[in-house]
Amino acid sequence: MAKKAVCIMSGGMDSTLCAALAKQEGYEIIGLHFDYNQRTMMREKRAFDEICEFFGINKKLSLNVDFISQIGGNSLTDTTMQIQKTGLSSEIPNTYVPFRNGIFISIAAALAEKEGADAIYIGVVEEDSSGYPDCSKKFIKGVNEAINLGTSDNFNVKILTPLVSLTKSQIVAKSLEVGSPLELTWSCYENEDEACGLCDSCRLRLHGFELAGVKDRIKYKD
């Protein structure tokens, strides 16, 4: 039987590279996407579907977890809050969705147990990122231990984070190396037609392309 991996796929370039690497490692991929009433929900869903088609991922699941927006406390789901566009800094921006990765990983673990998968891929980046606390190596290690304690004895899963120590420019370079479809991915937090170019996610993406010496093929408003 083929080994299976649940890939948490937002439609962004980090999780897409993780899917490419999982496929390279010989995993049968189960694509997992989340809708939580984020501003660019429809565009991210489109990216997810197109990326799954590109990789030939036949088993995929898109889940409505809009309770995240009901909890609130972030500018991705609360349109009364302005998305911060102050440039890269050491402070956690208001785009941080409280414990989002913890929620996503917990659901991915349930799916992995049901499907008999032995790996969960997630594109967290600690070294060159917005500084979200649920993207750290320490957090991933802790939640992985908790999952294996809280699931059946005959199930054991490892959370794989191949990008966690990479810079954005290295992620761009690696994506090009393995044929990950950067042009299908979406990173902008604010717009669904043309990327804004100013939000934290756009800035990180553009900075990565600039340092890699490559032009980003998606359209930007600014």
Annotated binding site for Zn(2+): 188, 196, 199, 202
Nearest-CA neighbor of 218 among 174, 161, 178, 172? Answer: 172
Binding residues: 9-19, 188, 196, 199, 202
Binding residues for ATP: 9-19
Amino acid (one-letter) located at 221: K
117 Cα distance to chain centroid: 19
